[in-house]
Amino acid sequence: MKTTHFLLLIEPWKVFSMPRRKSPWGTRFGINFCMVSARVVFSALCGLCSLFILSLPNCGPAVSFNVQGVTTDTADEDQSISEDDASGTNDDQAGEAENCSADLPMPQGNVVTVESVSELKDQIEAANQNAGGNPMDNLVITVDEINDLKTAVTESNKRTAAAPHVTIFVADGAYNIESSFIVITKGNITIRGESGNRDDVVIKGTGMGNGKTYQIFQIQAADTTIADMTIGNVATHVIQLMGEKSASRVHIKNVRFFDAGEQLFKGSYDSSKPDQLADSGLIECSLFEYTDGVGPSSYIGGIDVHYGKDWVVRDNVFRNIKNPKLQGQSCLEGAPCSSNPAEHAIHFWSDSENTIAERNTIINCDRGIGFGLGDRGHNGGIIRNNMIYHDNSTGDVGIGLESAVDVKVYNNTIFYNNNYTNAIEYRFTITTADIINNLTNKKIQKRDLATATLVSNYTAADPAWFVEVTQGNLRLNGPVSEIVDQGETLSDVTDDIDGNARSDGSHDIGASEYVE
């Protein structure tokens, strides 16, 4: 098995009919180029634990689903404030999230395993000819060449029906994409690392600024799963999910995202097509980071989803999503370089609805979690059991609600060592929220005539209360009387950031329930 793979220029794939925009990096072409593949990984090293137990996501083999498309939105620019290290970061992840321990299930039912992409093609052609009478539930292949991965996806896209589900295992190795990316246009495809260790499969592009590799995956179909791999070092997004092509029910599990020229994960949309959106997505147990400690520009973010409905983002870690200009550093040549903070680690807006953001750890990112931005708002949803830490460098708010209606902000812990004055902000007249049981060392601030109910929040946290503040481990290291059993008992909060039940009577304030 080869460990390093190269993919040179691939043929043009298709011209999109959707509206295109001028990228902040220059004019973006309306042409998407054919694909390159990915691989998922599970980190067995999760078991090498220390006190730095951050509910980190490098755990549990992955899951599978399908996704669609690519577009970016210039409105993103207005909101924000080493080349690459593709190796794993287990030294920084000394704890396995209990919530991520379950393996991604193996293919079930009538499973046909093939040994080559030519056999895969034959099986798909036979299934297409026997549509409606095909007894095959799952078609499985393992690839160890980037061209084979590309071909396997291309052939899978030719299915005329959702069945069979195709699972593509990617063998351990390093895979380099020189130009084009992998486009998934047919639903029910899973691409996952064979070993389950996300550090064993690395797929990377040519860098954040040279424009040769725009993305790793572009998902244009529903029910796509990407799991157990490390992917990154691209000019725009590591993964783009196209809501404008109704790419719903994507599942991302145990994936390390690193170093993208724009947002690491993008959920795009077309405002002229309100019936087409990406709904019911799940992103879990994954790591999002910039390996140089800052990003390349002001126009970056972690998970950025427009017009998403019923998403769950849980048990992930986000690190160093920061505008370099705010830290006194230079932006990448030609990249947007405003004085605004980078976009949030987790951001749902443009009429997104019912998002659940829970049990995530966010460390040294310009902004933490955002529902809505300006007048492009968010309806419903809950932000609970998250830990957000920022060191003494410049940053912005931990949790921000803008034009966000009926949002619940429950049991989060936020600690900032910098000069930003607010941990949580709710702003604009339309905004309504319940903000309960949050533990911070900064203010919870109303802005621009917003409305919220504030109950049992504590805003004078002492760093001595926490296990390891500078590592973002904001669990209590002892029975702090101001916090333990001092919160409201909420039906929407039945466990804590580690998945431990809040069942001992009155709830603690903050993300972690203290246990003797």
pLDDT of residue 74: 36
Q: 50 by DSSP, 3-state: which?
A: coil
Residues in Cβ contact with 68 at an 8 Å cutoff, skipping those fewer than 6 apart: 184, 185, 218, 219, 220, 221, 222, 224, 241, 242, 243, 244, 245, 246, 247, 278
Quote the tokens at residue 451: 């409305």
Sort 338 into a burial class: Cβ within 10 Å, 0-12 / 13-18 / 19+: middle
pLDDT top residue among 451 and 57: 451
In our burial notation (b when 16+ CB lie closer than 10 A, e otherwise), range 273-303 reads eeebbbbbbbbbbbbbbbbbebbbbbbbbbb
- The percentage of residues in the chain with a pLDDT greater than 70, rounded to a whole number, is 80
What average pLDDT does the segment 467-481 reach? 96
pLDDT of residue 27: 31
373 band by pLDDT with thresholds 50, 70 and 90: very high
pLDDT of residue 136: 83
Dihedral angle sign, alpha carbons of residues 100, 372, 260, 17: positive
Which range, of 76-85, 342-351, 501-510, averages the lowest pLDDT? 76-85
What's the chain's average pLDDT? 84
pLDDT of residue 56: 37
Residue whose tokens read 């980071």: 289
Which residues does residue 453 pair with via DSSP β-bridges, in sequence order? 434
CB 62 within 8 A of CB 39: no
pLDDT top residue among 115 and 506: 115
pLDDT of residue 133: 63
Residue 15 has pLDDT above 50, yes or no: no
Residue whose tokens read 């920061």: 322
Residue whose tokens read 């909420």: 490
Which range, of 156-165, 341-350, 382-391, averages the lowest pLDDT? 156-165
pLDDT of residue 340: 95
CA distance 358 to 314: 5
Question: Which of 295, 211, 289, 291 has the alpha carbon at shortest distance from 257?
Answer: 289
Question: Which of 516, 403, 385 has the alpha carbon at shortest distance from 450?
Answer: 403
Whole-number CA gyration radius for the chain: 22
Which range, of 34-48, 100-114, 284-298, 345-359, averages the lowest pLDDT? 34-48
Which range, of 86-90, 106-110, 152-156, averages the lowest pLDDT? 86-90
CA distance 13 to 17: 13
What average pLDDT does the segment 485-506 reach? 93
Residue 83 has pLDDT above 80, yes or no: no
In our burial notation (b when 16+ CB lie closer than 10 A, e otherwise), range 413-443 reads bbbbbeebebbbbbbbebbebbbbbbbbbbe
pLDDT of residue 330: 95
CB 41 within 8 A of CB 230: yes
Q: Are strands 22-23 and 26-27 parallel, antiparallel or unpaired?
A: antiparallel
Residue whose tokens read 């207005």: 78
CA distance 87 to 79: 32
What average pLDDT does the segment 105-109 reach? 90
Residue 368 has pLDDT above 80, yes or no: yes
- Cα–Cα distances in angstroms (integers) from residue 158 to residues 103, 128, 149, 161, 187, in the given order: 29, 9, 15, 9, 10
pLDDT of residue 178: 84
pLDDT of residue 97: 57
What average pLDDT does the segment 473-491 reach? 96
195 band by pLDDT with thresholds 50, 70 and 90: very high
List the alpha helices (DSSP H) in 354-466.
Answer: none
Q: How many CA atoms lie within 13 A of 396 on its CB side?
A: 24
pLDDT top residue among 87 and 182: 182
**DSSP letters of 56-119?**
-S--S-----EEE-----GGGGGT-------S--GGG--S--GGG-SPPPPP-SSEEE-SSHHH
Residue 30 has pLDDT above 60, yes or no: no
296 band by pLDDT with thresholds 50, 70 and 90: very high
ω into residue 61 within 30 of 0, thus cis? no
486 Rama sector, left if φ>0, alpha if ψ -120 to 50, beta otherwise: alpha
pLDDT of residue 57: 39
Q: Are strands 217-234 and 66-68 parallel, antiparallel or unpaired?
A: antiparallel
The CA angle 181-185-191, to the nearest 5 degrees, is: 65
Quote the tokens at residue 351: 């009429």
What average pLDDT does the segment 262-289 reach? 95
86 band by pLDDT with thresholds 50, 70 and 90: low
Which residues does residue 230 pair with via DSSP β-bridges, in sequence order? 202, 256
Q: Are strands 346-349 and 165-170 parallel, antiparallel or unpaired?
A: unpaired
Residues in Cβ contact with 118 at an 8 Å cutoff, skipping those fewer than 6 apart: none
CB 394 within 8 A of CB 372: no
Residue 497 has pLDDT above 90, yes or no: yes
What average pLDDT does the segment 313-339 reach? 96
pLDDT of residue 161: 84
Residue 70 has pLDDT above 70, yes or no: no
CA distance 290 to 319: 7
Q: 287 by DSSP, 3-state: which?
A: strand
1 band by pLDDT with thresholds 50, 70 and 90: very low
Which range, of 21-30, 170-179, 448-457, averages the lowest pLDDT? 21-30
What average pLDDT does the segment 15-24 reach? 31
134 band by pLDDT with thresholds 50, 70 and 90: low
Quote the tokens at residue 301: 């973010």
Residue 93 has pLDDT above 80, yes or no: no
Residue 150 has pLDDT above 70, yes or no: yes
Question: Which of 204, 144, 143, 213 has the alpha carbon at shortest distance from 176?
Answer: 204
Residue 29 has pLDDT above 60, yes or no: no
